[in-house]
Each structure stands twice: as C-alpha cells, then as structure tokens.
Amino acid sequence: MAGSDEGGNTGRILQGTYLLCTGRREGVACFGDTKADLWAALAPSFAFNIVSLFLVCVSPAKINDLRDILLDLCCTLMMLVVSQFCAQYWQRGEMWLRYMVASLWCGWSVVIDAFILTQLGILVFPGLKTSSLFLMIMLLIFSGNFLWVQWYIARVALAVSGLRAAQLCAYIALAMLAVHVTGSFLPPYYSPPASDLTYAGFMQMLFPLYGVH
C-alpha cells in the first residue's frame, strides 16, 4: 500500500506540473499542502547541495565552489521566507504550502525542459555547443519560461491578481540578487568575467552541481 501511495503521489505531481506549465489552473489541486509535501519538494534541491558539498570535501582544489553551493542554498531558503511573508501579508497564509510545493516542483520541470531542448539542438547541430549566441537564446527562453511559470503559479495557487503575482516574483528575484551581492564579498573576491556564455557556464546555471567534481 505504501508503494501504491508513493506512486500515486508521483503521478499527481507529474500531472500537476504538466497542467500548470501548460497554463491550466486545475493543476494546483494535484499538489499537497502539508509540511511533508514541502519537505519532499525541497528534497531534490537539498540533495544537489549535499552531493555538491561532498564533492568539494573530497576535492580540495574545488573549495572555491563552496561559496556558490552556499549561495544556492541561501537562495532556496530566501524564496521560502519572502513568499511566506507575502502570503501572510496578503492573508493567503493557508494557501502558501500548496503554492510553494507547486512552485518548487514546476521549477524543476522548466529546468529539465531547457536541458532537453538544448541537448536536442546540439545533437542535431553539434556546432551549437560552442555557439554563445545559441546558448544565450536558450538562456533567455529558459528564464522567460521560468518567470512565467512562477508568476502563473503564484496567481492561481495564492488566488491573487496578476499584479500581485508579478510583485511576488520581483520580491523573490530581488532577495536572491541581494544574496548574490552579499556573496560577492566572500572569498574568492574576484572572478574574471567571461566574454561569452560557454556550454559549461550554461549548464551550471541549470544545475549548480555541474562542474563540481
């Protein structure tokens, strides 16, 4: 029975993710609204951070990646704090858990979609792997899709206006920017800016674990 329940939960998550990412509000009902559901949704992000920390520990030469791992973890926690504050302020506190669960799972869907589309493009045209223009276009598509999905989930899961949903996305983005600005004061203090977006850089934007080995 436990296996059946687990399989059912996975099916509902996949269904809800598909519905929300294609603009259908009924997908919100597929996600749970308990603390256990929230921990399950956070598990992939925490797993990435834990594995990254382990890899850094066994490879001292990669110690500089520790800052990026910690910043990624802080950004995840900042998203929780800011969104819960806004939900409480707008008297939508009882809806916050379901919103956060849906937001976290759908965020992974957007990342995986971007990864698959990029790999398909490179498979058909191998030269695109070294094309900064192609990677920049894919990054813009990924970023736009991610923002739209997060905006849509906020609007339907918290039952707020489109303007308030946009405000929430902006507040979260600003909070994450503040985390990264603060992180810039931690060693290493300077990293030479890349003149072009590389494949490795693009992949690390999708998966912070990429390149940490």
Supply the range of the domain harboring residue 139.
Answer: 34-206
Q: How many residues does the chain have?
A: 213
Residue pLDDT, tens place only, 163-187: 999 999 999 999 998 988 888 777 6
> Does residue 86 form part of some domain?
yes
Q: Please count the structural domains in the chain.
A: 1
Alpha-carbon distance 32 to 9, whole Å?
Answer: 9
> Does residue 25 form part of some domain?
no
pLDDT at 1: 46
pLDDT tier, 2 (very low <50, low <70, confident <90, very high otherwise):
very low
> Does residue 81 form part of some domain?
yes
> Does residue 16 form part of some domain?
no
pLDDT tier, 50 (very low <50, low <70, confident <90, very high otherwise):
confident
> Does residue 13 form part of some domain?
no
**Torsion of the alpha carbons at 95, 161, 77 and 179, rounded to the nearest 10:** -170
pLDDT at 167: 96
| Continuous H helices in the chain | 2-21, 35-58, 65-89, 96-124, 132-157, 162-183, 199-206
pLDDT at 211: 45
Residue pLDDT, tens place only, 91-147: 999 999 999 999 999 999 888 888 898 889 889 888 888 888 888 888 888 889 999
Helices 199-206 & 96-124, crossing angle to 10 degrees? 160
- Can you read off the two tokens belonging to residue 85? 């504050």
> Does residue 11 form part of some domain?
no
> Does residue 124 form part of some domain?
yes
Which amino acid, one-letter code, is at 142? F
> Does residue 2 form part of some domain?
no
Task: Convert 109-126 to b/e letters by CB count within 10 Å (16 or more is b).
Answer: bbbebbbeebeebbeeee
